[in-house]
């Protein structure tokens, strides 16, 4: 079969940018404000920054559980919308509500019952003489407030994901922009005690995040129900919370691997960082700086993943299978090319950004080294991300599970555990070796996508 070209038509790129741009802008603003938040907390000191970073790593597992739990229903949402089935969209939305509520309940029990023990797993003495007890206290105080953001976060993701899957990408972007600016402003006010308010430190940072989540949630809910002509599935949405059992089983078969994938992948990332933390608390701070900055530069990666899921998913649902294959290849090529450029820019600023933090020279040097490593790997990360969303768009969730989280647990984690516990290898080469295993994943992804087993129309029972 003739291979599709890697460069699309002008109409193709107009569609790409129409879908990607709102998601990209929201991701850039969100991650830029996260960087500013991180810098604000970093001005208090290394221990507060480390405590907040550890808790955010734990909350990251919750966030990814929400994304994974909603993703299975989201595959059907995109394809139901592509086929014009509004009742199908309502059913998938209702199932998302059930999944979100269950996830919030589970993680509240975990964090309330074992929060201190989970934070303590990351606390190890290093060469800088940082206080483990103070770091634990800062983390405990931050987590106590952040528990209140879990429910509005889950509910806003239910609405925002459905809006995006049905082609409404601008409104979630606007809600996200409003939320991040509220977060930024109130972080400044509450962390440092401005406008006559007390300086709350890490608790203020958490309170600002909770407020931002509530505002974001309110915006997407209000808009969806006020614009029924653009969101026809919102009409009668809460007349019942019942979801037809045959559809639940179909989504569960496809969605459970996605949920487990996101849960195990995020838990795997936390375990990798725990392995790195064995080299000292300063490594926790350096990884925190590096990951926060890297996330800003990886906004294009995240946006292209959503773009692939939306465009390819809708084409598959509309029965345009060969066009889905061709456009997927062009989307992947664009994603990689974009990240070659972004990675070069990231390498240029890598030595500069850590200097903005109020931390030790050792932490700054480590963070710069980690950023250089990630900048070199950015195009490869973009490719594996594109492969993941390609496989997922066609419902091959068992394959995505093997490709993503199984790879982390079978390859990355054993390597990190061996190097961190069985050798005295310094942190920088250990970090480089573990992260460079992404090259192996690229090869696996190439053959998985090339097999075309993901080319499926799920709206046909």
DSSP reduced 3-state for 231: coil
Residue ranges of the chain with per-residue pLDDT less than 70 = 1-4, 126-129, 459-461
**How open is the CA angle 361-366-369, to the nearest 5 degrees?**
130
Instruction: Check residue 3 and give its pLDDT.
Output: 45
**Nearest partner of 427 among 419, 437, 439, judged by Cα:** 419
Instruction: Check residue 429 and give its pLDDT.
Output: 96
Is-contact 158 100, C-beta < 8 A?
yes
Three-state SS sequence of 264-327: HHHHHHHHHHHHHHCCCHHHHHHHHHHHHHHHHHCHHHHHHHHHHHHHHHHHHHCCCHHHHHHH
User: Burial level of 9, CB count in 10 A (0-12/13-18/19+)?
Assistant: exposed
Separation CA 236–CA 225 (nearest Å): 10
Instruction: Check residue 1 and give its pLDDT.
Output: 37
Instruction: Check residue 126 and give its pLDDT.
Output: 65
Instruction: Check residue 117 and give its pLDDT.
Output: 94
Percentage helix, strand, coil, to 5, in the chain? 80, 0, 20
User: Burial level of 129, CB count in 10 A (0-12/13-18/19+)?
Assistant: exposed
The encoded tokens of residue 37 equal 């938040």
**Nearest partner of 447 among 403, 412, 405, 416, judged by Cα:** 403
Nearby residues of 403 by Cβ (< 8 Å), 6 or more positions away: 387, 388, 391, 441, 444, 445, 448
**Nearest partner of 251 among 83, 404, 401, 69, judged by Cα:** 69
pTM for the whole thing? 0.79
Instruction: Check residue 374 and give its pLDDT.
Output: 96
Is-contact 382 436, C-beta < 8 A?
no
């Amino acid at each position: 079969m003739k291979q599709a070209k890697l460069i699309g038509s002008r109409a193709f790129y107009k569609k790409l940018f129409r879908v990607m741009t709102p998601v990209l802008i929201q991701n850039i603003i969100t991650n830029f404000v996260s960087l500013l938040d991180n810098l604000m907390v970093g001005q208090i000191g290394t221990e507060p920054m480390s405590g907040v970073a550890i808790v955010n790593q734990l909350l990251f597992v919750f966030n990814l559980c929400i994304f994974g739990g909603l993703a299975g229903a989201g595959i059907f949402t995109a394809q139901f919308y592509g086929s014009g089935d509004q009742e199908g969209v309502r059913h998938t939305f209702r199932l998302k509500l059930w999944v979100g509520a269950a996830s919030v309940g589970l993680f509240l029990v975990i964090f309330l019952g074992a929060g201190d023990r989970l934070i303590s797993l990351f606390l190890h003495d290093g060469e800088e003489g940082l206080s483990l007890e103070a770091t634990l206290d800062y983390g405990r105080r931050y987590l106590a407030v952040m528990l209140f953001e879990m429910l509005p976060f889950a509910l806003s993701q239910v609405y925002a994901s459905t809006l995006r899957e049905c082609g409404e990408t601008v409104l979630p972007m606007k809600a996200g922009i409003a939320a991040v600016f509220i977060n930024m402003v109130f972080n400044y006010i509450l962390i440092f005690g401005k406008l006559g308010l007390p300086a709350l430190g890490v608790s203020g940072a958490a309170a600002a995040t909770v407020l931002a989540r509530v505002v974001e949630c309110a915006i997407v809910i209000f808009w969806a129900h006020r614009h029924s002509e653009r969101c026809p599935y919102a009409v009668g949405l809460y007349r019942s919370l019942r979801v037809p059992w045959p559809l639940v089983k179909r989504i569960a078969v496809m969605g459970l691997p996605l949920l487990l994938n996101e849960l195990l992948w995020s838990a795997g990332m936390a375990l990798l960082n725990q392995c790195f933390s064995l080299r000292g608390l300063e490594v926790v701070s350096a990884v925190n700086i590096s990951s926060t900055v890297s996330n800003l530069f990886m906004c294009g990666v995240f946006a292209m993943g959503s773009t692939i899921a939306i465009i390819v998913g809708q084409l598959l649902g509309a029965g345009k299978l060969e066009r889905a294959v061709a456009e997927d290849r062009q989307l992947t090529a664009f994603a990689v090319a974009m990240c070659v450029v972004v990675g070069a820019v990231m390498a240029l600023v890598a030595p500069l950004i850590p200097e903005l933090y109020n931390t030790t020279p050792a932490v700054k040097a480590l963070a710069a080294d980690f950023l250089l490593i990630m900048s070199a790997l950015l195009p490869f990360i973009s490719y594996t991300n594109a492969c993941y969303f390609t496989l997922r768009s066609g419902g091959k969730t068992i394959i995505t599970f093997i490709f993503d989280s199984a790879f982390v647990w079978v390859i990355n984690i054993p390597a990190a555990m061996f190097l961190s516990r069985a050798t005295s290898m310094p942190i920088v080469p250990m970090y480089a070796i573990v992260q460079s295993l992404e090259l192996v994943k690229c090869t696996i992804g190439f053959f998985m996508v090339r097999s075309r087993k993901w080319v499926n129309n799920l709206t046909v029972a």
